[in-house]
Amino acid sequence: MKIVIDDLSGPEIAAFLGDHIRQMREITPPESKHALGLDGLREPGVTFWTVLDDDTVVGCGAIKEIAPGHAELKSMRTDPTRRRDGIASLLVEHILTEATRMGFTRISLETGSDAFFLPARRLYQKFGFDFCEPFADYTTDPLSVFMTRKL
């Protein structure tokens, strides 16, 4: 497997992210869905990585600068058929290393509070994220959980 910076121009990653957005819409009401689409992920200040197994997209994740020294982890997804293969852990470790290299000193995230998101919350806790109050433009939402960690 390899992790590459992706410019989001390929049809494979567009389809992979499209599946992500569709799934989030099925699980989360629109007012509580914070997943970025392709345009949002192409904005300045966002770095996006794709995990490839040979030429197959099996995962993705991004960071978005939200303040000097502070990034937000976005768009974490693993191919549902590849869950428990270590892809998410590999990617989080890579993103934390890259965020540190890029000069960030804190990384935060928003994820769902529903049982569906429990594996994600456990993954983030494994990597040292602690629960926190809403950050950036987020507000308190019973369907959201906020986490952060220093780098």
Q: What is the pTM of this model?
A: 0.91
Q: Return the CATH fold of 2-150.
A: Aminopeptidase (3.40.630)
Phi then psi dihedrals of residue 90, to 5 deg: -60, -45
Q: Which amino acid is at 148?
A: T
Domain ranges, ordered by start, for the chain: 2-150
Task: Quote the distance between the C-alpha of residue 145 and its chain's center.
Answer: 13
Three-state DSSP class for residue 133? coil
- CA 108 to CA 21: how far, in whole Å? 20
Per-residue pLDDT of the chain (151 residues; tens, 9 = 90+): 999 999 999 999 999 998 888 877 777 766 666 677 888 899 999 999 999 999 999 999 999 999 999 999 999 999 989 988 999 999 999 999 999 999 999 999 999 999 999 999 999 999 999 999 999 999 999 999 999 999 9
Phi then psi dihedrals of residue 98, to 5 deg: -65, -40
